[in-house]
Every structure is written in C-alpha cells, then in structure tokens.
Structure 1
Amino acid sequence: MKYIKIILLFTLMFSFQVKAQDLMKSSDLSTVKVDYLSDADIAKIRTQLQNNNMTIDEAEAMILSKGMSAAEFSKLKARVNEKTVAKKNTENPVVKKKDSGRAHDKILNNKVKDSANALIFGSELFDNPTLNFEPDSNLATPMNYILGPGDELQVSVYGVQEYNASIPVSVEGKISIQYVGQISVAGISIEAATQKIKAAIAKVYSTVRSGQSQVSVSLSRIRTIKITIVGGKQPGNYSISSLATVYNALHLAGGPGKNGSYRNIELIRNNKVYKNIDIYRFLVKGDQSDNVALKENDVIRIPVYAQRVTVEGEVKRPGIFEMKKGEKFSDLLNFASGFNEFAYTASVNVLQKTGKEFKVLDINESEFSSYLPKSGDVFRITKILNRFENRIKIDGAVFRPDYYSYTEGMRISDLITRAEGLKEDAYTKRARIIRLKSDLTTEIVNVDLASALSGDLSADIELKREDEVTVYSILDFREEYKITIDGEVKNPGVYDYYDNLTLNDLVVQVGGLTGSASKRVEIARMIKSDEIDDTNPKRIELVELEITADNNEQVKNFVLKPFDVINIRRMAVYEKPQMVTITGAVAYPGKYVLANKKESVYNVVMRAGGLTSVANLEGMKIKRPIKEEQINEIKRVDLNLSKNDTLKENLTKKLKEELKYVTIPVDWKKIVKDKEHYSNVTLFPEDEIEITTLNEGVKVTGNVLLNSEIPYRSGKGFKYYINAVGGVDSKGWKKKAYIIYPNGKAAVTGSFLFFRSYPKVTPDSQIVVPEKPETKKMTTGEWVSIGSVITSLALLIVTAFK
C-alpha cells in the first residue's frame, strides 16, 4: 500500500509538470499546484509567455478559464514576477528599492521642450520633463473608488481562521474566492464591495459570523483605463491608471496644441460635457478643483482658443495670455504677476489691430479695472524715467557727502546740516552749485558759504531739484610738496614734505645711514624769484654740510624746504673684502681674498702653496662669470634682424643658462719666466683659477668612427690620432677639424693652396671633427637648364666672331 501511494504521488507530480510545461496548450489546469513546480518549470512558463508576446497579467483570464484557481494563479504570478525581477537584477547590478504602494502600470511619455510656444502662459507646465501629475499609489484606498475588470483585491481572513489571497476582478466583473464562490463587484465602490465580500465569506467561515475572525479587503492593484485626448500636442488614445486625473492625462498628451485653449478644456463623459477645465485657476491660485479623476472611455477635448493677448516689458511674467469673455486688464495683470520694480504704472501702451491696420491706445491707471482686452492686443509696459523728482546732492568737505531728498524751500544751510556740517578743512569763502535749468542745460551758481551759515538770507540761497553742491577744501589749493633723498641711506627715494621737516627727521624716516656713508652731505635747493637775473648762471642753490656718519642725530639740525634733493655721499675708501677661488692641482685649494687692487694669477697660486707635482702646466685657465650688464649690452645691440628671428634671444639665453662664464687661457710657463707676461692677468672678484691634473691622453670626438681617448705619443701629429680612432665618418669635415688645449685655447686646421697644416697636439688636448654642412644637390632639370644656358652662350660667341 505504501508503494502504491508513492507511485500515485510521483504520477500526480509528473502530471503537474507536464501541464506546467505546456501551459498555453493545456485545456485543464485545475490540478496544477504551483508549490510543486520547480524553478525550471517556472522558467519554461516564462518562455511560453514570451513566445506568445504575453505578460502573466494578460494570460490571467485564459489560465483561469482553464480551471486554475485564483489562489494558485496568484502564487504562479508571484513566482513568475519574482523570476523576472531576479533576472533584471542579474543583468543590472543596481537593485531598486521596492515600491511600498499598490501596483499599477507605469504610464510614461517622453517630453521635448517646446521652444516655439514657450511664451504661452502655462505651456511650461506640460513640456517640462521634470514635472509629473502621476497619481500617488501610496495613498489609502479611496472608499468611493469604483471597481472594474483589471483591479485586484487583497482579501484576508485573520483570527481563529486564516485566509489570504490576491484576487483579480475578471472581465465579467467578478472575483472568485476559494470555498466561497464568485462575487460580482464591478461597478460598485470599494466600500460596498467590502461589505458584500464580508457577507459572502461569513456564510462559509463560521468564525467570521461569530466575530472570532475578521475580514480585510484592500485594493492591491489598480486597473488601467482607456481615455481619448483631442486637440493636444500628442492627441490619441491613452491607457492610464484608473486613479489618474485630468492633469495627468494632459501632461501625457503634452498639453494643449499650438492653438489649443488653456481655459476652456472639456471633459466629456457619456457623450456629455462633465467638466470645463480652466488651467489658469491652478497656475494663478493653485486651485486643483478642476483636476478631477478620470473614468473609462472619458474624452478630453481641447478646443481652439477664443482670444489671446501679449504682455511685453516690465512685468514679472511677460508672455502670451488667454483671456475669457468679460475679463479686464486688471485680471491680465494678475496673470502676469503684476508690474516689476522698474515699471511705469501711470499708463500702459496698447498696440491694437483693426480690420485694416494697427492703432495705438493708452490705458490710464484708472482704466485698468474697466478696459476689456481684445484678441491680438499687445500691451507694452515701459520703464520709469531715469530721473528723480526730489533728489539733491552735496559733496566735498562735509562729513556726510551723499544724495538727499529735496523739499520745497530748502536752503544751502539746511543741506549742510543734513550732511552733518562742514569739515575743519572746508573753504568757506566760496561754494559751487551746478544747477539744471529748465531746458536741461547746466549753470554754475557761486555761494558765499560763510555768510550763508551766519544767517544772511541773501547768501543762503534757495536750492532746486537736482542741484549739486560742492564744498571746497583748502587742501585742494595746496601744491603737493615732495622731497628727495639719495645716496648712502637705507631707503632712498621720494617722500612727502611736511612743515618744519629737518634733515634729522628725514634720515630717521628713511631708516638711517648705511655703514659706507661719509660726513659729506649735499643739498640741492630750487631758486625762487619774481625777476630774472641773467648775471646769475646758477640753476639751483647748493648747500654742503658735514655730519657725523655714525650718528643719525646731528648737532646742527638743518631745516629742509619743498623739492630739496639731499645726497649722502659715500666714503672715498670703503670696499668689502672680495674673493676668488682656486681649484685643482695646488697645495691649498679654496677661496682667497684679493689682497690688492691688482692681484695677479701668479700671486694667488703662490699663496695657495704653488703647483703640485701632478699639475699640468699647460692646463691652467681662469673662469670668469658673465655679468648681467654684459648680457644687457648684447640685448641693446641692434643686429638688424627680422621680427621672427630669434638669434639674439637664443644668444642671451645661452649666455645666461648654459655658458655662465668665459674662459681665459693661462700660459704658466711664460708667467714663471716673466711676471709681466700678458697671461699673468689681474683677477676680478668671483674669478675661478682651475689647474688640471696631468693627463697623458688625447681625446678624439665628433664625426669619427670611434669617440675615444688615445695615449699621447711625443712627435705624433694630428692625422695620427684621427687615424687611431678609425678616421672620419661619412659626415665628418676633416679640413675643418680643430683642437682644444687644456688651458682653453683652440687651434684650427689651416690650408694654403694644396697644402694643409694641422695644429700641434699636446697631452690632455681634445680633437674635434665637425659635421659637414648639408648641401642641396641639383636636380636633372637644373642640370638641363644650365646646359641650355651654356649652349646658348656658346652659339652667341660663335656668331659674334664670324
């Protein structure tokens, strides 16, 4: 018996799998148990649905008609959707948060910014992709919601007995509850359906009748309804949520079309106008009373507009507005959010169209509430004038120079009182008023300020609008005095002059004297005279003083005058010790101070202990740094180059960054024999004497086969060393080869007729073979041209001598 039960169980499961694998073709699905289906079976069902271009929701009616219970279908649907989500999450690793609201089909429509109708008031509400009027699925179930096919109810029994299932409303408008049967719910509200379902369940579940169990009914999925939109930017039939409203549908259709009305949109239900929608009520007041819910087969009709007007200029929201019959200009101004801060509000200019031409009207402020705009009117709101009706200005030597309000009868003393009075440096004998005359030209009015402030009404003149009062300062009339100090002070320059300024004061102000200052001071002073004295050739007056150089405070404190030029002289003898450097093969290399003004090479070498036994007598040279002044002199030389030629720039850059010093060759043997020899040069500060160590090799570099150093052999000449490295290469220019000696001297190869003389080679010298310059070979055509010219010349000569 046990084996028979097992065989029957396997047979039953096999039949479940067979029917699951052929879900679309099977005629009986009443025995299918979703809990026994494997993941592979669910995958096959999903494949069948995809092959038939169906979703599980679209296949619901067919599956239920083949005998599958609503509870089993709910399980099947959950597993199929679970697999779908899992697959999507596998393809895209970003996991989206699950929506906690009830399910409904997402209605999407791509929005494109409508630049052509951007000026129409309200158009931005519908063509902005960031705006959306999609209904909120997280709201509580509305009790007046009318159920229909496609809705899905969540029915739960909890307490002593339990039951829980998601039950769809069938196309016949019924729901099927296990053990209870079918209940018709279409066309009634969710509240009425709840009472009906509770009553039906109570007949089957005894604990519900007794109150030991409770029944809960909620809307778990919202159906999709179909509506029609006529006159929109994207008219047509739309499938939207049954909770959708008029604004949601209008947003999907892109709002009214180019000539569509924003204020008389009709919602037609059952072939009658159910509601007239005025979008301006929402745009201006935020009133959503027109945003009513939609029903199946509703039609939204957007007729053409009746009249539109344009508002331009100084309003907060310029644009094109639609007007209803009976609305005034004040209503239009409200739509445009009123005038802005710079608008001229006394009147508004209107450009109006007649049957033949244009005409212009002016609407005064008193007519705003009575004027009826006409279709095509263009209202132009201009700016206020850039002028003031009560402005007056004061500047100069007062404590608060600024603009002030003008009142009739205001006088100069009143304005000065408002400006907190005169400053101490005010010039009271005269003040100036720049006045704007009636013809907009200006005039100057002079005021005796002292008399005006003392109470003299004839001087305290009455001001006018736009007057500009200027109070002078006595400092404006003073020349700006300066004084100059130069020479041996820490901060020479030009300084301000003050009354009673002395030499001691100025010396302290500039930081005092330097250590090289002498006792001699020279002061140059300008000569002032009302008469020309031709007998006096002096241009200035010179004053010579003696001071104590180590004390900034002098016994005789000389009083200075404006524009004096003070020069503190330098001591006749004041030189800081300066050094040169000696490196290489000497006994004591290092830095040495120049002991006298004509310190020579020989003296410094002897002070360094003389040459060592390994010194190369022919390898002594002096490196002298290139001064900044020398580079500047090269810059100042005019080489008559083109603007694009960088020769001078490259030369100065090479001197400053690459060479940095010049080399002076020294012949030590000649110096030892004759101290007056020209090689025994006088050294300059920062010079470097370099004595190389004896090296019995000769370097050969440049365009030779092998750059190398060949041992020196007495009596061997130039060619020997070039041949020792394999000779010159294909680019080598042998006749221009040269040699660099250890002391920095250089010698080149010379030639006379067919004879060539090469320079003498010494130990530690360097032979350099340069590269031949590139020459352009003549083409065949050029040779032919030369031949033609020679032939022509030959014929000409022959003809001439016949």
Structure 2
Amino acid sequence: MQTIPSAAPVFILHGKADGKDTTMNTMLRLLLRNTLLLGFALWSATSVQIAAAVPGTNMPMPSQQQIDQFKRLSPEQQRALAEQYGINLDELIQSGNPNQPQFQESNLPNARPTLNDNSMFNRQKPGENEQTAEGEEDTENAEEGLRQFGYELFAGVPEAFTPAADIPPPDSYVLGPGDNLVIQLYGKENASYNLTINRDGQIQFPEIGPINLAGLSFNQARSQLMETVQEQMIGVKASITMGTLRSIRIFVLGEALKPGSYTVSSLSTMTNALFASGGISKIGSLRNIQLKRQGKLITTLDLYDLLLQGDTSKDARLLPGDVIFIPPIGATVGVDGEVKRPAIYELKNERRAMDVINLAGGFTPTAFPPASKIERINQQGDRTLVDLNLSQPEGKNTTVRNADTIQVYSVLDSKEGVVTLKGHVERPGDFAWKPGMRVSDLIGGMDALLPLPDLNIALIERERQPTREKYALTFDLGEALLEPGGSENLALKPHDTIYVFDYETPRSKQLSQLVNRLKLQASKSMRQQTVTVSGYVRFPGKYPLGPKMTAQDAVALAGGLSENAYGLHGEITRITYDEDEEQNIQHLIVNLANARTQDIQAEDELRIKRLPNWLDQEIVTLEGEVKFPGKYKIKRGETLAQVIERAGGLNEWAYPEGAVFTREELRKLEEQRIKELRQRLESEIAASNVEQQSPDQEVAMEDAEALLENLNQVKPLGRMVIDLTAVIEKDYSIELRNGDSLTVPRTKQAVTVVGEVQFPTSHIFESNLNTEQYIERSGGLTRKADDERIYVVKANGRVFLPQKSGWFAGKGYRIEPGDTVVVPLDADRIKTLTLWTSVSQIFYQIALGAAAIATF
C-alpha cells in the first residue's frame, strides 16, 4: 500500500479499490485532497466551511483522526504536503465561502471500517458492556469484590492506536509491497532516492531498472542493492535505510472487545493488534491467544507472561492476513485476603493451591497461611468451605477447581505480651510486658506524669482468662510510685491497660469503652459490674466496679468530693431481688469519713449530698452616687439597706427618688413579655394591612410600624420600682438576690416631655409649673395626640395616669425633678390595634429606665 514520505502523518486508506482503473496513488491523492480541504479549513483563520464530500469523487470524507493529524502539523509542513500533491492552499483560502452550510457529521457517506469504526464486525454479547474508564471500573470492582486479573491492561486505550513510527525495523524484517527504501548514492555520483516496492514486488531504480525485493529480509535486500550499485555504477557506493513501512490488514476475532478487521503497521505484534481492538472482553482468555496464518496455528500468547514476568518472547510479529483468535476464558480461581494481588486468575498449568498463590504475588507480611480456606461449589451446587493450611505441604499441594476462591486471613490484630498506658502521662502507648513487671516499672516515676495528675486513684483494665472477660482494679497511684515496695504497686499482666486521670478531663469519656464492655458482659447470673456516682462530686457518672471496691474508692474514681459536697454522709441506693424475683430497693447511709470499710456492690448508686445552707457566691452591684460603689458579695437574707450601709451610704449628690433597681429574673420575664407583645402586634398590623383604610389610618399604621421597629430594638432591663428613701430609713426591706443592681443618679434638675408633642425635649424644673404647662413649653399637643391618656413616669419608675375629671390632681401627682410627661398616640385612630397602649407604655418605661442608667 502506498504511504506518504517525509514528516507527514500516515493517512491510511481503508477498504478495497472499487475495481476500476483507478490506481492506488490516485485514490490516496483524492483522499489527501479531501483531508487537506477540511483540515486546512478548520486550521485557518477564515474558518472556511466545506461540503460533506468533494464533488466529482466517490471518496469518503476524511476521519476525525486524519483531520486531527493534519491540524497538528505546522503551517510549513501543511503547505509542503499540499504542494507535493498539487494543492494550492492560498487558492483554497481565497475560494472558501463562509456562507456555506456547516459540516455535519450526519451528512457523511457511509465509510468502510477503520481503526475507530468496526461496526460491521461488532457484536455485543448479552449482558456485556464495553470497558469503562479506569475510575468507574475501580468503583464497580469495589462494590462487586474481586476483579479479574489483567484486563485493566487495556483500560484507557486511545481510540486511534498507531505504533511508533520511529522504531528501526530488525534486519530480519521481510519486505513487501508498500515498504519504502531510502537509498543514498555517494562517490562518483551523489543522489538520493525514496523508492517504494510496488505491487509486483519491485522498485524502479533510476539508471538500473526494476529490482525484485519482495519476500527478502531487509538485510538481504540491502546487501543485494549494494552489490547491484557497485556492479552497474562504477565508483558509486550506496547507503540503504528503511523509510516508511507498509500497512497490513489483519483480523482480531473471538472474545475481543471490538472484533473486526484492522489495518496496522507491518511492525505490529499480537499485543499491538489487541490494543487496536480495544482489548479483551471479560469472558475472553488472556492465556491462550492464538495466532493463525492461512488456517494454521502459528503460536499462542500467554499475556500472564507479559504481565507477571515482562516476557515478550511469544509476542509474534504479524503478517498480512493473519488472524488473532481469542477463545473463551478457561478455568478461574479467585484469591482474596492477605496476598499481594487479590484477584480472579485464569488457570493454565496451575493445579495446586500454592501455584495460584504464586500467581497472586505470594503472601503479604501480615498473612497467616495456616488459617486459610477454600470456598468451593460442590457437585450438588452448594457452596462449601474447605480448611486449608498453606504452611504445610499438604495444604500447598491441594488441588484447586474451577470457580474456587482461596481466602488467606491475616494475623490477629491483638498484640501479645504488651501492656498499655493511657491518660495523663507524658508517653502513653503500648509497651512490652516482662515477667514481674509492676505499675512503677511501666510509668517510671512522678516525672512521667503530666502536671496536676490525680494521685489518689488510677485504674487497671484486665482480662479474665480464658474467657477474656474484662474487669477493673483500682489502686492508689501516688503510693504506688512513691513506695514501689508497697501493696499498691500492683503486678501487671499481659494485655493490662492502666488509666491515669487528671482533675480536668471528664473520666466518663476515658472509661466509656470499658463501661460499655461491662454492660455487654452482664447476664442473669452476673449483674453489670458498674457503679453510679451522682451528686456533688467532680465527675458524676457510671464507673467500673472492681473487686472489694469501697465507697471511698468510688468517690475517688469520680474525682473526689466537690467544694459544696456534704462530706460526712452519703446515700447508697441498692436494688436486690428475693427468691420470688421481687425487686427490693434499699437506701443505705454510708459514713464518708470511714467509707474505706463500706463495700459497694454491682449497680449501686452512691449519691453525695450538698452542704446544708450552702450558698453559691452571690454578688450585687451598687453604682452611681454611693460613697463606695462596686460589686459586693452577699449572704442569704441580706437586704438592700444593709449593703448600702456597707457601701458607706449615699453621698451628698445622690437623688434617691430617681434610683433604678434591676433584677435578673425580672429582666427575663420582661423579655418574654416583650416577645409576646411583639408577635401579637406584628399579627395585628398584618391583619390591618389587609383591610381597606382611610388616609389617616394609613398614616397611623406607619406610626405603628415605626413603634414596632423600635420595640424590636428594645433591650429589657428588669427594673423594679422602689422607694429608696423608705428603704434606707428601713420603712421596708428588700431582700437581695444574685445579680441585683442599684443605680443611684445625681440630683435631677429637669422635667422631660416625650410623645405626641410638637417638640419633645427636657425643661428645667420649676416648682410652680404643672403638667399642662410643661406640655405647652414643648409646643403643645400634635394632631395625633391622645389628650385623655397623658401619664407621668416618676423618676423612680412609677406611673401616674390622668383622672377622668381632668388633668392631674392631688399632691401625689405633683411634677418633680426627673419626671417624664408622656403624651401617647391616639390609639382610637387605629381601632384594630388593641395592643397599642400597652406596647407604647412598655416602650417608654424601658426607654426612660435605660436613659437613667446611661447617665452614668
């Protein structure tokens, strides 16, 4: 077959000639012309679009592979290739019409099979899918278990397989039609020729004539040419090398992923052809790939030789018309577990279990061959297990059968001859156990502990042999380390775990696994070996119960008594069952001062009580005009007057009538009340917006929404109205609570007017002015004011409402320094807002209280 010299890619023409007088060179020229037309149009900046086929020819359009090859050439290579076949690229650009319809793949004529299109040979077997990408295949393997060995060799094979063109052919390479020879003459004459062997097996040597080379090896042809040149061209010598190689047609049949006819390089081997066909399907054999030539079996290829040993000696070179036949897969055996390559392997000459293990790469370092098994399907179709000791000759020589699965187990995860140190130590971890080893030998000494350890107690988790049930032992850590010869320095056993505690980390987390294990071990005959410590200890919780554990040990295991614990007595709640299995609950008093003698039993609860009359630290705050402001600790029952006396009393600038007293629990109630009012007000505003309203009502609704916005920003104070003068004079007392606060302002000199007045502001106090006159000084009422609900918020927080008979009357309603006159919005203007008055009043009260405190 004619090939293209120089650096151009090889454009292979697939299929046979149509039987006319068209020569192979003419066909290739037409195909190349089509490729150049389309390839250059795609490459050039003019984006020329061409029709689906070149007029006047029956040739198919070039494949995408050929187009991509042309586009990868440099512009100089493209022009040189075009000129070689009589195509002017400049004229092609000028003749391009951008208005032509865009090239569509669906308009292509039916092409004959190529490397990328073997549809005429494709046959997909039922249930067989094409090979997926490597990542997807790995995911499927993870779900399905073992994968078949070797088939991933063909994963991710490029669609266009082209063997390397720069590999020098061996001397034994047999020449044939289509091979190209490069002949360099030197000496008396200098010339260079690229000569291709034609269909008759000859080259046309200038000045010499035709020479038959087909069927000769490259070495023989080279020797013959050199002799011919020396004989017929006196004084001239020749250097002969191989140029481009011919392509050959071969067949890949059987269980290939894409069986069919393929055109490959004449240097291709059996594996090259397998790659070109996409690989082998999962039901195809990797170990008996047959090469047939003219109906005769030439050789067989075992891909395991290539995969496992890198042996390519059986990878035979192909000749035109060769058939590679892939038969169905043979017997298979799976190997799983502790082998280097767990997979399903195809058997060839392997008969013994150890032969299959060797296919899998042998055992891993953590394998335990004596505990291996074979999963086998017997003659009745049942799955059975066969014990297999692969450390003995008998086990190694066990005969394997088709569909067997060998399972090789690992050594146990548990460590033998070790002890473990956990918790508040410098170097926790596993350590080698030695006979006679004790606690102090493992820990080392006090310097091996982290700062602030609990030296009163530590715990050993131990196994009871041979059942390996867990139980706990407690000991005095400080005594064990300081007195190595004492009884607390316990001897250790293999698998012991020592827990060292501190006073910060909750111990329930450290001991949770052991406690859960003790729960699982509980039975009818042995109750759960745990004890619960509750009440006033550092770390209340459920703890392991050790042999002969006392109440004092249980308290120490819980971190000891807390600061407010009652240290004289505790209470043990014990549940027992009589002969009739009736439950009895006992409450036992334990003397904590002598708790070392009081044993505690399984599932007991030890409760530590709180000190009677224990008062947690309570603090109140005095601010403002007191002689010694600050925070004061109080005792239960202490009153406000007593604390003021401790603070030196009020100074000469104090204004007791304006004092602000706040309490935390009132603040929380106030916060809840505001939240409820806010929600109800939002609902009523939303309902009012649905109704049709007059212009005045719309303005009023805007005011309501503004008030709601202010209410959302209000922070409750928890103010309680008091008469500080009466408190100091002890006319009545206020018992203090934790978090109470008293703010005593400086003497007030102003009266404030807020709400629906023309100019809300503060005015200097004048004793001869009444409420109405202060309102007039603020410009009078606005159109939206409610003159029947005007009220006064006194400096101490009390609220006085107007009388029905008119403005304010009586001595109690006299305006005083620090008072605030509030003119509310006329709530009747918004009939649907029933909460308006309550919300506005709360808002003003909180705002005024906050303003009073803010002055400090």
TM-score (norm 2): 0.49
Q: Which residue of 1 aligns with 2:333?
A: 309
Mapped to 2, the partners of 1:178 and 1:684 lie a distance apart of: 127
Aligned residue identity for 2:497: E
Deviations 1:738-793 (A, max 9, x none): xxxxx997599xxxxxxxxxxxxxxxxxxxxxxxxxxxxxxxxxxxxxxxxxxxxx
Instruction: Give the deviation of 1:275 after TM superposition.
Output: 3.4
Retained in 2: the 8 A contact 1:107–1:239?
no
Q: How does 1:115-514 map to 2 (within 5 A)?
A: 119-126=147-154, 128-130=156-158, 134-155=162-183, 166-197=194-225, 209-210=235-236, 217-269=241-293, 273-326=297-350, 328-339=352-363, 344-356=368-380, 358=384, 360-367=386-393, 370-382=397-409, 384-396=411-423, 398-417=425-444, 421-422=448-449, 425-426=452-453, 428=455, 430-438=457-465, 439-449=467-477, 452-453=480-481, 454-456=483-485, 458-471=487-500, 476-479=559-562
Counterpart of 1:79 in 2: which secondary structure? coil
Residues 290-312 of structure 1: CA deviation (Å, up to 9, x unaligned): 33321223333334444311123
Alignment partners' CA distance in 2, 1:581 and 1:575: 21
Q: For structure 1, which segment, 303-312 or 188-197, has the greater mean C-alpha deviation from structure 2 after superposition?
A: 188-197
Which residues in structure 2 correspond to 1:597-612 (within 5 Å)? 606-607=776-777, 610=779
* 1:427 Cα offset (Å): 5.2
Is residue 112–residue 128 contact of structure 1 (8 Å, CA) maintained in 2? no
Q: 1:437 to 1:245 in 2, by over 3 A?
A: same
3-state SS of 1:248 partner: helix
Residue equivalent to 1:753: none
Task: Tell me the CA shift for residue 136 of structure 1.
Answer: 0.8
Task: Tell me, in whole angstroms, the C-alpha distance in 2 between the residues paired with 1:366 and 1:598.
Answer: 119
1:113 to 116, 131, 135: 131
Contact 1:592/1:604 (8 A) holds in 2: no
2:624·2:745 contact (CA, 8 Å) conserved in 1? no
Q: Distance in 1 between matches of 2:423 and 2:233?
A: 101
Deviation at 1:167, TM superposition (A): 3.8
2:246 & 2:156 partners in 1: Cα distance? Answer: 27
* Percentage of identical aligned residues: 23
Code of the aligned partner of 1:146: V
Task: Note closer, same or farther for the CA distance 1:419–1:162 as it changes in structure 2 (3 Å cut).
Answer: farther
Deviation at 1:51, TM superposition (A): 2.2
- 5 Å-filtered alignment, 1:331-730, equals 331-339=355-363, 344-356=368-380, 358=384, 360-367=386-393, 370-382=397-409, 384-396=411-423, 398-417=425-444, 421-422=448-449, 425-426=452-453, 428=455, 430-438=457-465, 439-449=467-477, 452-453=480-481, 454-456=483-485, 458-471=487-500, 476-479=559-562, 515=624, 519=628, 523-525=633-635, 544=643, 546-547=646-647, 569-573=741-745, 592=762, 606-607=776-777, 610=779, 619=783, 621=785
Give the Å deviation of 1:405: 3.3
Q: How far is 1:416 from its partner?
A: 1.9
Rounded Cα–Cα distance in structure 1 between residues aligned with 2:179 and 2:372: 57
Deviations 1:248-306 (A, max 9, x none): 22233444455433223233446654433221122223333333321223333334444
Q: Distance in 2 between matches of 1:550 and 1:470?
A: 59
Contact 1:398 1:420 survives alignment (8 Å): no
Provide the rounded CA distance (Å) in 2 between the counterparts of 1:158 and 1:595.
128
Structure 1 contact 594–685 (Cα < 8 Å) conserved: no
Change (3 A) 1:127 1:413: closer
Q: Is the 8 A contact 1:107 1:240 kept in 2?
A: no
Instruction: Tell me by how many angstroms 1:372 deviates.
Output: 4.5
- Greater C-alpha radius of gyration: 1
- How many equivalent residue pairs? 529
String of CA shifts for 1:620-641, please: whole Å, max 9, x gaps: 6489xxxxxxxxxxxxxxxxxx
In the TM superposition, residue 120 of structure 1 has moved relative to its aligned partner by 1.7
Q: What's the secondary structure of 2:444's corresponding residue?
A: helix
RMSD, aligned CA: 6.0
AA paired with 1:79? Answer: G
SS in 1 for 2:373: strand
Contact 2:372 2:406 in 1 (8 A): yes
CA 1:675–1:259 in 2, change beyond 3 Å: closer, same or farther? closer
Name the CA distance, whole Å, in 1 between partners of 2:211 and 2:271: 34
Output the CA distance in 2 between the equivalents of 1:350 and 1:203. 75
Per the alignment, in what secondary structure is the counterpart of residue 204 of structure 2? strand
Deviates most, 195-204 or 403-412: 195-204
Q: Quick one: distance in 2 between partners of 1:418 and 1:146?
A: 85
Q: Is the 8 A contact 1:312 1:378 kept in 2?
A: yes
* Compared CA separation, residues 298 and 26, structure 1 to 2 (3 A): closer
Amino acid at match of 1:364: L
Report Cα offsets for 1:655-689 as digits up to 9, x if no partner.
xxxxxxxxxxxxxxxxxxx9769xx9999989899
The 1:92–1:321 alpha-carbon spacing in structure 2 relative to 1, beyond 3 Å, is farther
Q: CA deviation at 1:392?
A: 2.4
2:200 corresponds to which letter in structure 1? E
How many Å apart are 1:151 and its aligned residue? Answer: 2.6
- Provide closer, same or farther for how the CA distance between residues 288 and 547 of structure 1 changes in structure 2, counting only shifts above 3 A: farther
Equivalents in 2 of 1:334, 1:578: separation in Å?
102
Task: Summarize the Cα distance change of 1:83–1:429 in structure 2 as closer, same or farther, 3 Å threshold.
Answer: same
- Measured in 2, the distance between the counterparts of 1:363 and 1:319 equals 20
C-alpha separation between the residues in 2 aligned to 1:190 and 1:88?
A: 46
Closer, same or farther: CA 689–347 of 1 in aligned 2, 3 Å: closer
User: Using the alignment, how far apart are the partners of 1:244 and 1:599 within structure 2?
Assistant: 117
Q: Structure 2 counterpart of 1:464, which letter?
A: K
- Output the CA distance in 2 between the equivalents of 1:747 and 1:414: 86
1:437 Cα deviation after fit: 0.6
CA distance in 2, matches of 1:547, 1:227: 108
Q: 1:89 to 1:590 in 2, by over 3 A?
A: farther
Distance 2:410 2:496 in 1: 24
1:134–1:244 CA contact under 8 A, matched in 2: no
Q: Is the 8 A contact 2:148 2:282 kept in 1?
A: no
Q: Deviations over 1:706-738 (max 9, x none)?
A: xxxxxxxxxxxxxxxxxxxxxxxxxxxxxxxxx
Note the residue ranges of structure 2 that are not aligned, 5 or more in a row: 1-19, 38-49, 63-80, 104-113, 120-128, 504-537, 539-558, 566-615, 652-735, 788-805, 832-856
| Alpha-carbon distance in structure 1 between the residues aligned to 2:763 and 2:310 | 95
Which of 70, 81, 86 is the matching residue for 1:79? 86
2:622–2:742 Cα contact (<8 Å) kept = no
Name the aligned partner's letter for residue 149 of structure 1: P
The one-letter code sitting in structure 2 at the alignment partner of 1:150 is G
Q: Distance in 2 between matches of 1:396 and 1:516?
A: 55
- After TM superposition, the structure 1 = structure 2 runs for residues 11-160 of structure 1, keeping only pairs within 5 Å, are 47=54, 50-51=57-58, 78-79=85-86, 112-113=130-131, 119-126=147-154, 128-130=156-158, 134-155=162-183
Specify every segment of 5 or more residues in structure 1 that has no aligned partner in the other structure, as ranges.
1-23, 56-73, 95-104, 483-502, 527-537, 552-563, 612-616, 624-673, 691-742, 749-802
Amino acid at match of 2:744: A
Counterpart contact for 1:343–1:381, Cα < 8 Å: yes
Q: What's the TM-score once normalised by structure 1's chain length?
A: 0.52
